Chain A
Amino acid sequence: MHNWQQLVRERLRGVNLEGAREAQVVEELAQYLEDAYDECRARGASADEALQRALTELADTRRLVRQLRKQEPAWQDPPPVLSRNRGGMSVFTLLYDFKMAFRSLRNRPGFSLMVIGMLALGIAANAAIFSILDGFFLRPLPFRDPGRLVDLDEIAPKWNLQFVGISNADSVGWRAAAAFEGMAFYRTSDVTLTGGESAQRVRAAQVTHDLLALLGLQPALGRGFSPEEDKPGGAPVAMISYGFWRRVYGGDPSVLGQTIQLSNNPFTVIGVLPAEAVIPDRADVWRPLQLDPNRNNGWYLRGIGRLNRGVSIDQARADLLRVHKLMPDSNANHAAATSPRVDPFGERFLGDYRPVANVLISAVVVVLLIACVNVAALMMVRGAARAREMAIRTAIGASRVRIVQQLIAENVPRRGGLPES
């Protein structure tokens, strides 16, 4: 067997054909020679004779060479390997580009891994921090008009104490503040839920009957507490949280009217809280506070208020302070010792974290920037190595748009194929 392609190339020396075009011509002519040779042999000629016969086919290559030289460098045929398209922006060229991109990725595993790793790190850090920030700051609270909700508490400036809690008397007297559309108070504790299969510790909250309405929520099942039930000596009723209801009662509506035991005291379930009732403290059980305004239990309550429309928080602070000072002292030095404080609702829990969050965001952005710069540097190094390839592509006839399209397509798998972090 002869190397026909080699022969053809020798005969066509002097013609400067580019890549795909050259391969085509050589292949075609080589096949011709081989067919001629085979036919001669089939007719009974010897190998030498057949070879001579085949060679005469390319005896005078002047015309052929002239014709080939005349041919425009941009060959219209599709590349003999994959795509059948001329290079327009169709889906097929895109798929072709992706195929080539994956191939080149595979051929350079070290480089690809490095780039992917750097980008993954930057993006993962970003995603993690963002999800935290989103949970904390960006997502609105699930209550009606949460911008108007404020956290109420008291401070004891004489002893330099913040968040001492609200007293019974104050919780009643403060309601006179006109700046507020409404107020509600609560305290939380852990109780043991007995009866049923086993005892479990649950978080319980004692709330004033108007808390649910203040938040703008409706019970998921049954009803809320009535003002009668919220008075000292009121009926032992309770509401359970939505999650608790699904977990323990399997979402069975017949839970209404059933009795639960909280620290060995029976309570009748009259309602199920909606899933949005995440305050106070995601308590699983609510009971009416049944506060006695004449009893001094010290300062232990937390409060939530809703500002009237158009009232600023500063106005509310001033108003509440005024009302607080006007209240008769129920025990000695009460008004002198304590002062109300009003904070935007979310701030109470998140205020301390904002500076930390800002630092984290900045750090993460910097990490991502560094990763991008690194990747860009690596790409530049690679780009220099690929200059020759680009020259060949342009010579064959790729337009600039096409080359750019291919480069973009090469990079998309790198980014798009990153694992979920």
Chain B
Amino acid sequence: MGLQSTDRELKKGSAELLILSLLEDRARHGYEIAKLIDVRSHGALRFQAASLYPLLYRLEERRLIQRRRRHYRLTVEGRKVLAEQRKGWQKFVQAIHSITGIEYA
């Protein structure tokens, strides 16, 4: 597995978690979400519209987020899934840490 594909895999796996957690506090529209990801990750993660919106639509299909006018917000179901994914992610990172010795900064 090349570096690029690893990144892509990681990105794919975490993208939903990112979006869900960004919508935890308030409703946001598409561009806002992309901007936040870019800014908060200090440029490490960047989503184009062409990759962000498929994720948004998929999440909407699964009723984890809801679209009102131009804003997306978390549904009750979405909050549940967010909590689960957070826990899952934490466990995963700890496992990696125990095996590889990488600290979670």
Contact = CB atoms under 8 A, between A and B. Distances in A.
B70 A66 contact: no
A288 to B, nearest CB: 87
A71 interface: yes
Interface stretch (B45-53, B74-82, B87-95): B45-53
Given A67-B57, A67-B58, A71-B57, A32 B51 contact: no
Nearest to A68: B57
Given A32-B30, A67-B54, A57 B48 contact: yes
B25 interface: no
Contact of A33 (B49, B58, B61, B67): B49
A35 interface: yes
Interface class of chain A by DSSP: helix
A71 B54 CA distance: 10
A61 B51 CA distance: 8
A124 interface: no
Interface in A333-368: none
A59 interface: yes
B48 A66 contact: no
A352 B29 CA distance: 82
B49 A57 contact: yes
A77 interface: yes
Interface in A42-91: 56-61, 63-64, 66-68, 71-72, 77
A58 B70 CA distance: 19
Nearest to A8: B49
Interface of A: 25, 27-29, 31-33, 35-36, 56-61, 63-64, 66-68, 71-72, 77
28 contacts: A25-B53, A28-B70, A29-B53, A31-B31, A31-B70, A32-B30, A35-B31, A36-B31, A36-B49, A56-B48, A57-B49, A57-B50, A58-B50, A59-B48, A60-B48, A60-B51, A63-B50, A64-B49, A64-B53, A64-B54, A67-B53, A67-B54, A67-B57, A68-B54, A68-B57, A71-B57, A72-B61, A77-B67
Interface of B: 29-31, 34, 48-51, 53-54, 57-58, 61, 67, 70
